[in-house]
Amino acid sequence: MANNKPLKKVDLIFSEAFLNRDELKEVLSRSADEVIQELLDSGLRGRGGAGFPTGLKWKFTRDQKDPEKYVVCNADEGEPGTFKDREILDRVGRKVFNGMALCAGTIGAKEGYMYLRGEYRFLLPKLYQILDEFHEDMKALGIDFHIDIKLGSGAYVCGEESALFESMEGDRGEPRNKPPYPTEYGFRGKPTVINNVETFVSALIISRIGAAEYQKLGTVDSRGSKLFSVSGDTPIPGIYELELGMTVEQFVNEFGDGDTKAVQVGGAAGFCVPRKKFNDTIIGFEGVPTGGSMMLFNSSRSMYNVLHNYLDFFKEESCGQCTPCRVGCQQLFLGIEAVKRGEKPASYLDTLLKLSQTMKITAKCGLGQSVGNSFHSIVNNFREEMIY
Amino acid sequence: MSEIETLVKELADKHGRKRESLIPILQGVVEKERYLSDEAMTEIARELDIAAAQVYGTATFYSFLDTVPRGKYVIRVCKTISCSMKNGNEVIKAISDILKIQVGETTPDKKFTLLEANCLGWCHKGPAMLINDTPYTELTPQKVREIIAEYNRK
């Protein structure tokens, strides 16, 4: 593997292109079939982390007979280590709204909503101003589509799509049972496309440059480029748009401080990759997937502290609705503390690993199901640090 | 009409009286009063014609919808990993020393409340905090002192 190859930096998301009315008009004049086919051909998968094929999501929603449909933009970016959506909204918010308009035209929706996390409330005046211009353009183009913004109030779990709908409807942000999926039963129980902020921008870009051009970037399983939020022990923290398909080794060569011992890919809900696996781990859906969160740790860091911090996060953010997650997060947190203090033998870690596996199978939503990702990958790779 | 009744009515006129209006109304009360009193929640329930328990249930789910009195300026310091690696603890300690309150407490003059928060989305510029809605990043004990002094002058 050519690990010393420098990373390919891309400038699609933040470029100033695709912002004016004429371009919007051209994109919106495509037929729904054309847009969906282009998205399917491009291989675009959701940029929030879960990676569902965007074209399919739009197609399933379009196929629903119900005349009342919604487009929802998930701007509840809360995964530790992720901050790219804030930057997109701050710098090219208009592209997000344009992407939502493209989706609305494709699936047949007249109303769209953006669910913005409460922590980003300071962006509201700017976004409302952009929305005013957007609505003027919609009117000028004779398109009946309106977007409103709903504000979150500090709950990580609301980034889970069905919890987000519950919150938009005025309830506790507790995830629903799935199926039915949002394409069938979403906001107000109606067929809904819900995509991450970046996904709407990528869909717009694909419509503009074409699937063939977009496909030139990335790998078979992970097409295109995406934004990475880089933080932790790095001399150059920030947001970078990179071609998908790099190894962790390539990433560390670019962003590490020369002493990187582990990289957490995908945030607290993601996977920890230790140094010995940098070389053969691909960042993408064929390896370790990520919504963009990349946290680097050098050898001065205790991985026990890292895991402790993640579990503290999860036990606070668990909605408490299902037992595996509510009790599981608590017990994992208390369990590693007990092992560290010597109150439990090292073998207790194996009991905890089993618990995290049970949570993966039995928790109701993605939050509880993914706690085991970081738990497994940190405990298995840094077991001594958990004990001594 | 009491002050809170007037506020709830105004907010309901603006956001509607549907179940979907509940969170925007709760947010509106918090923005004005800094917290949701029992009186405010009962009043919202009456205005929307739903059970007070539903209002309370929704309010207590969200960390930004406080149900205990808070200061005029609520400081939320990020405690998640990237900020904590950049000495977020020192920032919390500095604020605690300046205001002479612990995390979770409010100053006697009801001006500041100090809280910890989960990831605020500023991991590349940690440590970070919010004062009400305004983010502050790349904090140091010195910088925090200046920011609080500025709020003290307000």
Name the residue facing A81 among B79, B123, B134 (closest C-beta): B123
pLDDT on residue A49? 84
Contacts of B64 in chain A (CB under 8 A): 118, 153-154
- The chain B residue lying nearest A121, using CA atoms, is B133
pLDDT at A211 over 70: yes
Return the residue in A74, A83, A127, A294 with the most chain B beta carbons within 10 A, the one to mutate for interface testing.
Answer: A83
CATH numbers and ranges of domains, chain B? 3-61 (no CATH), 73-153 (3.40.30.10)
Q: Hey, what domains does chain A have and what are their CATH numbers? A: 21-215 (3.40.50.11540), 225-298 (3.10.20.600), 303-387 (1.20.1440.230)
Least confident of A198-202, A284-288, A332-336: A284-288
Q: What is the ipTM of this complex?
A: 0.97
Specify the pLDDT at position A16: 79
Q: Residues A83-92: what's their mean pLDDT?
A: 96
Q: Rounded CA gap, A239 and A216, in Å?
A: 22
Compute the nearest-CA separation of A231 from chain B (Å): 5
Q: CA-nearest residue of chain A to B133? A: A122
| CA–CA gap between residue A272 and residue A295 (Å, rounded) | 9
Which tens digits make up the pLDDT trace of B53-88?
Answer: 999 999 999 999 999 999 999 999 999 999 999 999
What is the average per-residue pLDDT within A132-146? 95
Q: Pull the structure tokens for residue A355.
A: 């618990």
pLDDT at B31 over 70: yes
Give the tens place of pLDDT for each residue, A153-195.
Answer: 999 999 999 999 999 999 999 999 999 999 999 999 999 999 9
Can you give chain A as a three-state secondary structure string?
Answer: CCCCCCCCECCCCCCCCCCCHHHHHHHHCCCHHHHHHHHHHHCCECCCCCCCEHHHHHHHHHHCCCCCCEEEEEECCCCCCCCHHHHHHHHHHHHHHHHHHHHHHHHCCCEEEEEECHHHHHHHHHHHHHHHHHHHHHHHCCCCCEEEEEECCCCHHHHCHHHHHHHHCCCCCCCCCCCCCCCCCCHHHCCEEEEEHHHHHHHHHHHHHCHHHHHCCECCCCECEEEEEEEECCCCCEEEEEECCCEHHHHHHHHCCCCEEEEEECHHHCEEEEHHHCCCCEECCCCECCCCEEEEEECCCCHHHHHHHHHHHHHHHCCCCCHHHHHHHHHHHHHHHHHHCCCCCCCHHHHHHHHHHHHHHHCCCHHHHHHHHHHHHHHHHCHHHHHC
Determine contact, residues A124/A149, Cβ cutoff 8 Å.
yes
Provide the 3-class DSSP secondary structure of residue B32.
Answer: helix
Query: Which of the four pLDDT bands, split at 50, 70 and 90, describes residue A21?
Result: confident
DSSP state of B138: S
Q: How far is B6 from chain A (nearest CA, A)?
A: 21
Could you tell me if B67 lies within 8 Å of chain A, comparing CB atoms? no
Interface membership of B80 toward A (CB under 8 Å): yes
Q: Is the pLDDT of residue A4 over 90?
A: no
Beta-carbon contacts of A268 under 8 Å, excluding residues fewer than 6 positions away, are: A79, A80, A81, A310, A313, A314, A374, B80, B81
- The Cα of A169 is separated from the nearest Cα of chain B by a number of Å equal to 4
Please, what is the average pLDDT of chain A? 95
